[in-house]
Structure 1
Amino acid sequence: MEEKNSKTGASTFEKIRFSEPVTIIFGSILAVLSGIICMQIMGKVGVSANTSILGAVFAMLISKIPMTLFGRFKSLERQNYIQTIVSGAGFSAANCAFVAVAILFVMGETKAVLPMALGCIFGTVISVYTVGSLFDSPLFPAREAWAPGVATAEVLEAGDEGGDKAKRVIQGIIVGIVGSIFKLPVGAVGIVFIANIVSMLALGIGLLIRGYCAPLTGFDLGATSIPQGFMVGAGLIALLQSIVSIYQSSSKSKKTKADQEACEEGLTVSGGKTKRTLIAALLTHVAGGVFVGIICGIFTGMSPAKMVLWVIWTAFASVASMIIIGKAAMYSGWFPGFAVTTIFMTIGVLMGFSPIAVAVLTGYISSVGPCFADMGYDLKTGWIIRGKGKNSEREVYGRKQQVFIEMLGAFIGIIVVIFFADMTLKDGLIPATSVVFATTAEMGSNLALLKELAIWAVPGAIVQILGRKYMFGVLLATGLLINNPIYGIGVIVAVVFRKIIGDEFMNCRDAGLIAGDGLFSFFSSLVKMFI
């Protein structure tokens, strides 16, 4: 394990490159396996595995092989690189590319499947680079929760250090596995003890309202567009709040130099760089929209004005989804990828775009937003392992290496989809989310739906304004969109217990709960693939 420096200046550290042959070779092999397995699980079961925990387990197993070649992986930073490439490949294969191409497959647009996958490579790689440039900025501080990233780091450190930390993590893993067998929301409990408690309260309230509204009142919230409208309002306000926050942190006209330094103390990315990165991301996704639109052939028959509108909306929705999903993931450990993508897709339908144009829009957005959250978790893991930013030079260097190897993992994951998607889809393994997206894309414009969305956007906006710091409105809306009342009960009960007993008892055990839940979910899903 490398020396952990406490100095921030010229302190030395070992520069471990992601491109070391042994890391690239074994990382790529595991990335291919992760991509294949996670894609199959998404198609058969409809949910994705916890790829960060999966990557951590693979990394630790490699480090324990009693051969000289694998001795280098006793380094936590190399384990972090392996964990990152495995996580990136599994997530990009299942949640980004496979979901996107399956939409077109369901719609019968098989000629556009390969072009859509190529578009996903562009969108995913740009998203990974963007989160790498924004992590530890005023918009996405490294010191915020990023709960799954904390859990992954604690699992890696427990495997390296042993002792009391390892005992606590193992205890949590055992309880997590047993609880998952009995379908208890143990993962949610673990996240509550790491994430922002107010943000988790918002998510829990939303889950309970959605889950018990129909049984208690007879009114089926899920049969309406109220949750979607709530998310539209909350999401737009969250986006505006993020823009204002960036402007305020970088504005020299309103702050002295000393004020700016105090505001950005401890951060490695300034407000000014944050603003420039977002502008660059927007322009890059404009290019991405043009690229994917051309190769998928959706511009044929479109008027010039409609083409411009589609490209602008695709670029805006991509950047907005990154910010909204990233902020929600940062505070709560839960990223509303499906919900946010559905909102932008629905608005695209209401704009009058053709079904194929909406499908390509949806596929591109789904390859951008969710992977932003996954990469954020991986960077949080690396930030902890590298000493929590005590040596800024080491942190920036290590983060850069993680971004490169995550890009490689994402590329490998999508290449896996290109080679295996056709066979998988023809076997009937189609993600449920892709079916929903395809159905929505073909439904056509509906003025009544637009009116309902606009009406319920107002309370969503108000709640987000009041709960700005904690993404309260967005996470409440996320809960309203998900019919999982048991998860809601678990969240609320855990919030109450955390307030009563504090954090000490659950220290490291919370990470174990998340790991146990994730491992059981992965291996049980793997078994279901063959049943």
Structure 2
Amino acid sequence: MSQTPPAPPADAPETRAAHPRAFEPVTLIVTIVLSVLGAVIGLVLITTLGIAPNTSVIGALLAMLIGRISFAALRRMRDPHRQNLVQSAVSGSTFAAANSLITPIAVPYLLGRPDLVWPMLGGAVIGLAVDSWVLYRVFDSRLLPASAAWPAGVAAAETIKAGDEGGRKAGLLGISAVVGFLGALVKLPTSAAGVAFLGNVWALLMFGVGLLVAQYAPEVLHTDLAAHYVPHGVMIGAGLVALVQAVLLMRERRAARSAREADERAAARAASEAAYEDRFDAETRTVDARRLRRGLLEGFVLFLVGAVVIALFGGVTSGMSGAGLVGWVLLAGVAALVHQLIVGLAAMHSGWFPAFAVTLIFLILGLVLGIPMVPLALLVGYAASTGPAFADVGFDFKAGWILRKDAVPWRPYERAGRRQQYLAQLVGFAVAVLVVVIAWQPFFSEGRVPPVAKVYVGTIKAGLTDPHALLMMGLWAIPGALIQFLGGTSRQMGVLLATGLLVATPQAGWLVLAALAVRFGYTRYRDRRAGRDDLARADARAAADADLALVGAGLVAGSSLHDVSQIYKAL
């Protein structure tokens, strides 16, 4: 006989209402209109200046402004969670159009095969869809925890919160955003400093070291590291170890699995009695090892399906033997999966993703294996279609995770909100596909193609002229693997060192290290002021982290605003 659950105590927090839906008429209309804007901005900037700006903050600001319009229906956009849905779609449409769609189809076009643009676009759409699906399945697992840095997501969330709450928080964020914008205006990578206030200290320390080494190696060592494939080798070694670590995270020991199952049964029995106790916990994972394993395996299978589609409609089958075709499909599937994971891990910790460099690694591997020109171009385009959207969805989920912290019960609300964000992202992706379908011919006919696509095609045409390239990459893979192994999965030190070497943005290393020093000094200052009381010191550290997060978010937001403002140069 069932028993009536006891009523929660009088001081229990109220249960949240249902999360706003992505397909509500007003939200959907605003999402579509701003997604068109984001896709156009992404196309214009990637084909002229070679950058794909993060429009999350722009989407959030526009959604907030729309919510201030004195019209009954639009007032609904004052809700932070609806603003989160809109900014998720806007940033998704920007990265999808610029990185996942227009760049891959430019590769066969520049190779003199415009007939392959449509098959490549179909493959890129599959890559984009699988990319976002995998992240939706595995976000907030041990491999990609929501509690990690995801800096652009923090910037978007803090922008929305500051607009909603106002006061000191809005002031601090606004001042930091102005500093970030002005710094970017004088060519300083202020987003790098902002990231250093938000991420894992060890990971960012290695990122800063990599940036400094890349900047000063030509002057101090009189050598071009990139020309000798040093950064590529470090990334190969670190990436391989990172993949092994990811596989290990998907495993569960029998005892741990039994304990987890027992906990799940106990939680199910108590759910109706203690729903009000389901509060936010940063260390509680909403995705277990089994779902992580299934998500990555499903992604690999779907990537293989996409590779088969490209092979059939791109003419790969006619120019290769049966064994060669099977090998090409397997390599394309592995390249897509590895590319998304490496780019995602780098973005999670540093906010920067070396998509171009990791794609170039697979291009060089294809040259070493002797893959013919057209199949290699399609392989490169397919790999390039994955990664950026994977990272961007992670940023947006992080923003929603922050905004949903106060929900009670928390886990159902978090899962529901994440699902609505994913649906909003799909709307943004669909808009991006339509914009690219309409715009690619006019853009390409005017010679407006992404600069990175020119590099890919130039490398394919030139071939592997350096016989020592493979040897150098193999040698430098060893220290990359060792650093990644010693740092472990939580720090990703090898991947972040390689990211810094590959990104090689001038002055960014100094800004990262300076921000880390400020972060350490400010935390110690607040800690000492709190005295010897443990509780007071814990509160002081939490307050210091909150202030630093606002400053970092403001710097990232200001830098992003500057990037978007550069569209006037491209028009």
Match of 1:298 among 316, 339, 342: 316
Specify the alignment match of 1:509 in structure 2: 551
Aligned to 1:229: 233
**Which whole-Å CA distance do the structure 2 matches of 1:363 and 1:415 have between them?**
19
Question: Counterparts in 2 of 1:56-205, with a 5 A limit?
Answer: 56-205=60-209
Q: Secondary structure at the match of 2:142?
A: coil
Paired letter, 1:334: W
2:39 touches 2:93 (CA, 8 Å); kept in 1? yes
What do residues 143-172 of structure 1 show as CA deviations (whole Å, max 9, x unaligned)?
111111011100011111111111111111
Deviation at 1:10, TM superposition (A): 10
User: Residue 257 of structure 1 corresponds to which residue in structure 2?
Assistant: 259
Map of 1:4-15 to 2, 5 A cutoff?
Answer: 11-15=15-19
1:286 aligns with 2:274: no
What one-letter code is carried by the residue in structure 2 that aligns with 1:327? L
Q: Which residue of 1 aligns with 2:500?
A: 479
Q: Which of 499, 518, 523 is the matching residue for 2:560?
A: 518
In structure 1, C-alpha distance between the alignment counterparts of 2:239 and 2:423, rounded to whole Å: 30
- Are 1:436 and 2:455 an aligned pair? yes
Counterpart residue identity of residue 476, structure 1: L
Partner of 2:443: 424
For residues 167 and 146 of structure 1, do their structure 2 counterparts lie closer, same or farther at Cα, with a shift above 3 Å needed?
A: same
- Alpha-carbon distance, 1:256 to partner: 4.1
Counterpart position of 2:224 = 220
Cα deviation for residue 11 of structure 1 reads: 3.8
Structure 1 CA distance for aligned equivalents of residues 192 and 404 of structure 2 = 27
Shift of the alpha carbon at 1:198?
1.2
Is structure 2 residue 361 aligned with structure 1 residue 343? yes
Partner of 1:489: 510
Instruction: For residues 391-445 of structure 1, give each alpha carbon's deviation from its aligned partner in whole angstroms, at most 9, with x where no partner exists.
Output: 0000001101111111221122122112101111221222111111112223335
Question: CA deviation digits over 1:193-226, x for unaligned, max 9?
Answer: 0111111111110111111011112122132111
Paired letter, 1:196: N
Q: Distance in 2 between matches of 1:204 and 1:389?
A: 37
What is the letter of the counterpart of residue 251 of structure 1?
A: R
Query: Which of 52, 55, 58 in structure 2 is aligned with 1:54?
Result: 58
Query: What is the CA–CA distance in structure 1 between the aligned matches of 2:481 and 2:324, rounded to whole Å?
Result: 29
Shift of 1:231: 0.9
Whole-angstrom distance in 1 between the partners of 2:169 and 2:175? 10
How far the C-alpha of 1:341 sits from its partner, in A, is 1.6
- Taking a change above 3 Å as real, the CA distance of residues 178 and 387 of structure 1, as seen in their structure-2 partners, is same
Q: Go from structure 1 to structure 2 and tell me whether the alpha carbon gap of 1:498 and 1:260 turns closer, same or farther (over 3 Å shift).
A: farther
SS in 1 for 2:86: helix
Q: What secondary structure sits across from 1:470 in the alignment?
A: coil
1:4 maps to which residue?
Answer: none
Distance in 2 (CA, whole Å) between partners of 1:364 and 1:420 is 20
1:251–1:273 distance in 2 versus 1, CA, 3 Å: farther
Match of 1:3 in 2: none
Instruction: Tell me whether 1:529 sits opposite 2:570 in the alignment.
Output: yes
Deviations 1:243-275 (A, max 9, x none): 11111xx33266541599699961111111110
Q: 2:476 maps to which residue?
A: 456
Q: 2:21 aligns with which of 1, 12, 17?
A: 17
Residues 66-118 of structure 1: CA deviation (Å, up to 9, x unaligned): 22221110111111111111111111000111111111221111111122112
Pair 1:37-2:56 in alignment: no
Deviations 1:444-481 (A, max 9, x none): 35653222221221111111111123111111111112
Aligned residues: 521
Moved more, 176-185 or 381-390: 381-390
Name the CA shift for 1:518/1:223 in 2 (closer, same or farther; >3 Å). same
Matched, 1:500 2:521: yes
C-alpha distance in structure 2 between counterparts of 1:387 and 1:356, whole Å:
49
Q: Deviations over 1:339-388 (max 9, x none)?
A: 22221222122222112211111111111112100100000011111117
Answer whether contact 1:187 1:513 (CA < 8 A) is retained: yes
Q: Is the partner of 1:485 in helix, strand or coil?
A: coil
Q: Percent identity?
A: 35
8 Å CA contact 2:147–2:283 kept in 1: the answer is no
1:46·1:431 contact (CA, 8 Å) conserved in 2? Answer: yes
Which amino acid counterpart does residue 501 of structure 1 have in structure 2?
Y
Structure-2 separation of matches of 1:501 and 1:261: 40
Give the CA deviation at 1:8.
Answer: 12
- In 2, the alpha carbon distance for the partners of 1:120 and 1:327 equals 21
Q: Which runs of 5+ in 1 are unaligned?
A: 1-6
Q: Could you say if the C-alpha distance between residues 388 and 259 of structure 1 is closer, same or farther in structure 2, counting changes exceeding 3 Å? A: farther
Q: Distance in 2 between matches of 1:499 and 1:134?
A: 32
CA contact (8 A) 2:228 2:469 kept: no
The alignment's TM-score, normalised by the length of structure 2, stands at: 0.87
Cα distance in 1 for partners of 2:19, 2:568 equals: 40
| In structure 2, C-alpha distance between the alignment counterparts of 1:400 and 1:261, rounded to whole Å | 25
Question: RMSD across aligned C-alpha pairs, in angstroms?
Answer: 2.2
CA contact (8 A) 2:401 2:414 kept: yes
The letter for the 2-side match of 1:456 is W
**Superposition deviation, residue 40 in structure 1:** 0.7
**For residue 535 of structure 2, what is the aligned residue in structure 1?**
none
* Secondary structure of the corresponding residue to residue 183 of structure 1: coil
SS class of match (1:322): helix
TM-score by length of 1: 0.94
Work out whether residues 121 and 411 of structure 1, in 8 Å CA contact, stay in contact via their aligned partners in 2: no
Shift of 1:185: 2.3
* TM alignment of 1:349-428, pairs within 5 A: 349-387=367-405, 391-428=410-447
Structure 1 equivalent of residue 486 of structure 2: 466
Structure 2 unmatched ranges of 5 or more: 1-10, 265-280, 524-543
Name the amino acid aligned to 2:291: K
